[in-house]
A = this chain, B = another copy of it.
Amino acid sequence: MNDFDLGLFIKDHRKVAGLTQLELANLAGVGKTTVFDIEKNKETVRWNNLLAILKVLNIEVQFKSPIHK
Residue of B nearest to A55 (CB): B2
Integer count of this chain's copies in the complex: 2
Which of B51, B63, B68 contacts A61 (CB under 8 A)? Answer: B63
Q: Give chain A interface residues in 43-57, CB to chain B under 8 Å.
A: 43-48, 50-51, 54, 57
Complex contact A44–B54 (CB within 8 A): no
Complex contact B45–A46 (CB within 8 A): yes
Complex contact B54–A58 (CB within 8 A): no
Q: Give chain A interface residues in 1-38, CB to chain B under 8 Å.
A: 4, 6, 9, 12-13, 16
Q: Which residues of B contact A51 (CB under 8 A)?
A: 43
Complex contact A66–B62 (CB within 8 A): no
